[in-house]
Amino acid sequence: MRTNLKKYPVLFYYFCEKHSQMKKTFTIQELVSLLSCEGQEEEALFHKAQQVKNENVGNLVYLRGLIEISNICVKDCLYCGIRHSNNATTRYSLSDEEVLEAAHFAHVHHFGSIVLQGGERSDHDFTLRITRLLHQIKEQSNGELGITLSLGEQTLEVYRQWREAGAHRYLLRIESSNPHLYKRIHPQNALHSFNVRRHCLNLLRECDYQIGTGVMIGLPFQTLEDLACDLQFLQDIDIDMVGMGPYLEHHNTPLYAVRHLLLSQEERLSLSLRMIALLRLMMPNINIAATTALQAIDPFGREKALQIGANVVMPNITPTSNRSLYALYENKPNTHEGAQETMHALEQSILQSGCHIAYSKWGDSLHFTTRNRNILSPPKD
């Protein structure tokens, strides 16, 4: 049944044009207003986003088995628990055998895809190891596992090498599209350059990846205008997939000192859900992840995101002995559950959200495929 938007003036004005066609572009002022909506207007926003999601990408949820290969990082981002200068954390790197075993678990349990995620490194030994692992995972799964990488800033040559070895999606979060805010949450040096980060997204497009990025929601110093600009940024760069969620603090980071500036975690969760709903309206056929950070605030946060716009989940299949060490923020959920337990709980929660799991499906971004790209072919020089 259609939502009666006339009952909610803000939503009626922004969502309806001639012939009841919904707007897909919004001004900053419109987005700020929508990010501020509450009560029945928020319910109507979520209902509309759910409708748009079901009409464009369906009611299926795609699985990406998350393998956190290492918490060794050269970066020193001021918000991150595995930042290089945090000497209080124990560093680890999974062996090749552990990575391949986790990938095998994903394959036999019909995940469809995996994500290799880790602290940022670009040294030669590391990049060659990733190339080798990509070949081994493809061979081990008979080419059936889709592979997403989230391994930070690399050169064009490395991105191409990984693309040719079998990776076809890449997640490189911008964290904030506002260069001034970006500077406030990163050290002021060449290793933490907004322009380099932005340039790497262009390099990934040149290599024919499905490109993902994302932002943190509820950062200190962040305004609703910043978040509205983030949404416009994601739309302007024509992104294929997005992973965004609430900022969660870590006590061993410099940004922890300004935690008094933060919204409550509940407010950050609500704002994150509105961001997901609005992005689904603005970009109806992209992939949107229901991130673990949502679940860290609310046990059902991930399911709420699936109901109103998200269509991807990333169950953590990192070996339990290392999972708690990949602590980007505090109170990370499911750190002591085995992969089998995680999978069972996930299946139940997705069903309760009213969605269905698309087993053994890569779940490629329709936004990407409608641009007539062939994800199975290597990038062209």
In this structure, is residue 20 part of a structural domain? no
Strands (DSSP E) found in the chain: 60-70, 112-118, 146-150, 169-171, 210-213, 216-217, 241-243, 245-246, 287-290, 312-313, 356-357
CA angle, 65 then 200 then 281, to 5°: 65
What pLDDT score does 8 carry?
A: 54
What pLDDT score does 378 carry?
A: 38
User: Consecutive sets of 10 residues in the chain, 381 residues long: mean pLDDT of each?
Assistant: 49 49 81 93 93 95 96 98 96 96 95 97 98 98 98 98 98 98 98 98 96 98 98 97 97 96 97 98 96 93 95 91 77 67 79 89 93 46 35
Helix (H) or strand (E) holding 86: none
Give, in order, the Cα–Cα distances in Å from 262 to each of 139, 220, 221, 247, 305: 47, 5, 8, 9, 22
166: left (phi over 0), alpha (psi -120 to 50) or beta: left
DSSP letter string, 147-166: EEEE-----HHHHHHHHHHT
In this structure, is residue 5 part of a structural domain? no
Question: Is 158:122 a contact under the CB 8 Å cutoff?
Answer: yes
SS3 assignment for 95-151: CHHHHHHHHHHHHHCCCEEEEEEECCCCCHHHHHHHHHHHHHHHHHCCCCCEEEEEC
> Cα(356)–Cα(377) distance, rounded to whole angstroms?
30
In this structure, is residue 178 part of a structural domain? yes
What pLDDT score does 325 carry?
A: 77
State the CATH number of the domain containing residue 302. Answer: 3.20.20.70
In this structure, is residue 311 part of a structural domain? yes
Q: Tell which residue, 347, 292, 343, has the closest CA to residue 106.
A: 343
> Cα(110)–Cα(104) distance, rounded to whole angstroms?
10
Residue 117's DSSP bridge partners are: 68, 150
In this structure, is residue 51 part of a structural domain? no
Task: Please give the tally of structural domains in the chain.
Answer: 1
Assign 3-state DSSP to the chain and report helix, strand, coil percentages, each to 5: 45, 15, 40
Helix (H) or strand (E) holding 254: none
What pLDDT score does 341 carry?
A: 74
In this structure, is residue 241 part of a structural domain? yes
Residue 146's DSSP bridge partners are: 113
> Cα(5)–Cα(11) distance, rounded to whole angstroms?
6
Q: Which domain holds residue 113?
A: 59-369
Report the predicted TM-score, pTM, of the whole model to 2 decimal places: 0.91
Q: Which two tokens stand for residue 216?
A: 């943190």
Residue 215 carries which DSSP code? Answer: B
In this structure, is residue 4 part of a structural domain? no
